[in-house]
Structure 1
């Protein structure tokens, strides 16, 4: 049991080591929704969503995938599963079915009581939807291709863990939106995600490397969504903004192609002629 908790906490070490006091004022729910839904920022704010941030979750995915060709990783999977069988041979409880959604529910719930995230409701929801699509397509596609048998022998969809991927997607979503207000929010999200991974192993639904890879896919999907969304949003709404900016401008002042021309008579060396000039 100690081995399992230690290994999981190693890759979930993003949890907070200190807590910052959240001094957000309580306001009316209707006012909160109006402010958060309709007051769109000029530029989408995104926290810690730089390209280098994709490296740590990619390492988790690589570790999980290495079980197919690296025997020490496979032996560790078997060792951890044997420890679980000894500690809790009859364990059959599935709170992880709810834990995987808890971080996302908390983000929207806290928003209702006045704790605003980094982005407005619409932007935040679009980012979350993008992350879910990327994660779902990746994990369920790989499940069919990898054809790995679950520890309980029920089917061949063990790698990677979809529950864990979804839980860590939500945990990173919570960290991105609320992590700058208080590190406690990041710690709460990642605690639920880590618990989800542990429970998936205790229910013999997944091997340890399945859970590690699932965590990597979940975090990677969220970080990629935060990285890509500002570019997609700006491109989609750029034309609309330009049209809106020019809507009330008089027709004679709207930007038109700037051209000018001039035609002048000329006389040189006894010859009469014309000179034409145009500027674009």
Structure 2
């Protein structure tokens, strides 16, 4: 019963987050996202749940129960999460290539995405190295938080911010993919629920911060570089997955 409702629980949480911000910002067509305290509620809750769960016995028990429930229904591992983590942010560039314009031009959105990725990646790597949480499959002690989930939710928030004024359904579809990525990280026995929750919160918050500080970043580092172009693409070298950034000044 837990696994049947888990995906829908994750999607409900992020849908509530998107819906709340949509109501707040639906009349705002300004170039950049203004800071709003309410926008912090969902990501802070998710991160807080994950952090508290590192030591809380009751939450640890929930992690174990969910793992046991999932294991009972596993027929074989599905590695779609290795690719779906990149789908939300890649969709932004795909939509632009199809002629569907978002909030920012390619230059600005690439700077924002690169900023979000640096914030997210740095936070995730620091926590992985300091938390020493064993993965459910006992393969290594870098379970907390989930990097795949953080990447997926970072991209989902990026997709939402860029296209919410075109159609909110773009944002919801990105969050659906991100929620699915988090679910499959648990399905594949790679992460606990607390890892996924914290990763989702970190991903969402990283993108929000990137939008909030973008005017400062642009003014400081790209003030006289109006012809800056760039792109961010996922890569796979046969052993590792990652994201490559290229910018031309």
Listed as ranges, the gaps of 5+ residues in structure 1 are: 18-43, 242-280
TM-score between the two structures when normalised by the length of structure 2: 0.80
Aligned to 1:255: none
Which of 142, 149, 161 is equivalent to 2:127? 142
Which of 74, 85, 90 is equivalent to 2:60? 74
Aligned to 1:102: 87
Alignment check: 8 A CA contact 2:133 2:143 kept: yes
Cα 1:198–1:237 shift into 2, 3 Å: closer
Task: After TM superposition, give the deviation of residue 184 of structure 1 in Å.
Answer: 0.9
Aligned to 2:206: 221
Aligned to 1:5: 7
Aligned to 2:177: 192
SS of the residue corresponding to residue 118 of structure 1 reads coil
* 1:80-131 superposed Cα distances (whole Å, 9 cap, x missing partner): 111001111x421100111011111111011012111111110100000000
Task: Tell me the distance in 2 between the aligned counterparts of 1:107 and 1:3.
Answer: 29
Task: Tell me the distance in 1 between the aligned counterparts of 2:65 and 2:87.
Answer: 30
Which of 177, 182, 187 is equivalent to 2:162? 177
Task: Tell me the distance in 1 between the aligned counterparts of 2:17 and 2:201.
Answer: 15
Task: Tell me the distance in 2 between the aligned counterparts of 1:211 and 1:59.
Answer: 13
Alignment check: 8 A CA contact 2:13 2:42 kept: no
Task: After TM superposition, give the deviation of residue 49 of structure 1 in Å.
Answer: 4.8
Alignment check: 8 A CA contact 1:77 1:207 kept: yes
Task: Tell me the distance in 2 between the aligned counterparts of 1:113 and 1:138.
Answer: 33
**Is 1:125 equivalent to 2:127 in the alignment?**
no
* 1:140-179 superposed Cα distances (whole Å, 9 cap, x missing partner): 1100100000000000010000000000000000000001
TM-score between the two structures when normalised by the length of structure 1: 0.71
Between structure 1 and structure 2, the one with the greater Rg is 1
Cα 1:78–1:48 shift into 2, 3 Å: farther
Q: Which aligned pairs between 1:50-61 and structure 2 lie closer than 5 A?
A: 50-61=36-47
Task: Tell me the distance in 1 between the aligned counterparts of 2:14 and 2:220.
Answer: 35
Aligned to 1:93: 78
Alignment check: 8 A CA contact 1:51 1:227 kept: no
Task: Tell me the distance in 2 between the aligned counterparts of 1:57 and 1:216.
Answer: 4
Task: Tell me the distance in 1 between the aligned counterparts of 2:208 and 2:81.
Answer: 23
Task: Tell me the distance in 2 between the aligned counterparts of 1:15 and 1:110.
Answer: 23
Aligned to 2:101: 116
Listed as ranges, the gaps of 5+ residues in structure 2 are: 20-29, 226-249
